[in-house]
Structure 1
């Protein structure tokens, strides 16, 4: 008794692809794979050191256990989680094998977008912290305190846990029957759903709506808060005071641009059906995915006067 392929896919709506091939960058000679893997190891070690340092330093230094630095620590956890989710798998592509199990690929999809979503909302929370501190400095201790920030961060982590779980489960409702090649260094929602052998219009519409809300919702608030901050700063009569206030905001604006602009560009072009050459697209994804996580410790903490002063006293 035979079962035709359509009946099989209806019974097993998840997949009949046991493994996924992560193609990654194309055209790299095999003899350079070890060097490429070592390069990503170096990036991971830098990323891990910077973010772990923030967590340990703030935990040990009671004078830094304030709302701003609690947000820094949450951002460090998110960045470390994203780097740990992606970089070891990228290293394995060049050192061991490009093959990942179907289950492993979807697990990576979940955590990649979970940590990315948390980072986006944490940046908005940091903008809120700066907005209140600069525009309402007298009410800052009342409006922004440790308890409030812990509650907001907890809601953020838990809410995104549920949201991304539902999004990933929705992507698993269609059959995946080949091809099994993902044109990226790690599994992400767009790449994996492109392998489905069914109509993914509802899935694509849902994921695009959520992605744009998660991306542009915080971004619009960040823009609003920084416009208000700039207006408030321009009212400061002391030129040196204006300069110092702008100096505290400039690093965050730089990292926000690095995080949001290329990400929005890639999302929009993917939505309208315009695709870049594979290596260029992967390079852009690497830039907006890994660079913010790599530079956040330097920009947010090591350039913060309070942390620098504390380090000088310690060492």
Structure 2
């Protein structure tokens, strides 16, 4: 069937979880709203600390700020529409709007993968070449690498969108997913999607596996360097410097790899389970990452504690408690 001549779909409808009973729609939307607020709040706190305190103007924190931007933008691209779908039964998204969402979903996901590779590079140099760290990893180097991360994600995602947009969409318009992605959209095309789906799969694997391969190399080198340290205390101290990054990387890559590899090892899921896995690896890292930055990084933890101590609200509550205790003492 020739392309581009019978497209009659003007809107798509985002189904979300196909097996979810309508009586749970309110609960689902409330949970997603809480997740979205937590993502905005947690990442917003770190961004505020970064802007206000010059001690965080270091290469590692420039990387984290790029990760913060990626997490917030990805969540803002995906969550408001699915919240509206369950809260107001408004799952309709325009044809162009769906492709725009698809573009940004994949773009922010791939950019995130490259930024995590930059994070691994930072730890690799810090532990394997500590004497040269200041010369190799400086502000300008990290800024260039982070800019390259955003840039490298662009061509493949743009190509995926350009190839998918003119396909003929002439019948079904329901997307069984919580947001528009390439696989969910192209499945609805009235043509053989193999010539479009297979190159997209190759692009996806390359853009995820290349940074993952570098991350694996970096942390393998780090582990070998750690084992060469003579004292147990020295090993633990060195591992603690990269433990937070390892948690962030594991949250991003492991569920994705599991989801992609499961069909090839004989593991099958229902549509609801698969969507739940996708939502977990899409939204759990943006929600958990700020806790990791703040609670597992000594410098950030100290700055956060100092900021909370100086907080006007906390000072007001402290003075209020003191005045109440004085009043009770006199009575």
| TM, length-normalised to structure 2 | 0.87
Structure 2 residue 102 is matched with structure 1 residue 124: no
Query: Deviations along 1:245-284, whole A, 9 cap, x unmatched?
Result: 1122223223322221221232345689986211101111
Contact 1:258–1:292 under 8 Å retained in 2: yes
User: Offset of 1:176 from its aligned partner?
Assistant: 1.3
1:239 is matched with which residue?
A: 232
Q: Work out the number of aligned pairs and report it.
A: 307
1: CA distance, partners of 2:14 / 2:134: 49
SS at match of 1:21: strand
| TM score, norm. by length of structure 1 | 0.92
Name which of 66, 70, 77 aligns with 2:62: 70
Structure index of larger Rg? 2
Cα RMSD (Å):
2.0
The whole-number CA distance in structure 2 between the counterparts of 1:209 and 1:242 is 39
Give the Cα separation in 2 of the matches to 1:154 and 1:246: 28
Q: 5+ residue gaps in structure 1?
A: 1-5
Separation (CA, whole Å) in 1 of partners of 2:195 and 2:111: 24
Matching of residue 211 in structure 1 with residue 201 in structure 2? no
Could you say which residue in structure 1 is the equivalent of 2:27? 35
Q: Which residue of 1 aligns with 2:178?
A: 185
CA–CA distance in 2 between the matches of 1:311 and 1:100?
40
Deviation digits for residues 59-116 of structure 1 (CA, Å, limit 9, x no counterpart): 2211110100000000000000111011111101101212211111111100100110
What is the CA-CA distance between 1:137 and the residue it aligns to? 0.8
Where in structure 2 are the equivalents of 1:11-90 lying within 5 Å? Answer: 12=5, 15-90=7-82
Distance 1:203 1:102 in 2: 18
Gaps of at least 5 residues in structure 2 are: 310-331
User: SS at the partner of 2:212?
Assistant: helix
Match of 2:13, SS state, is: strand
Match of 2:12, SS state, is strand
Paired residues of 1:208 and 1:271 also in contact (CA < 8 A): no
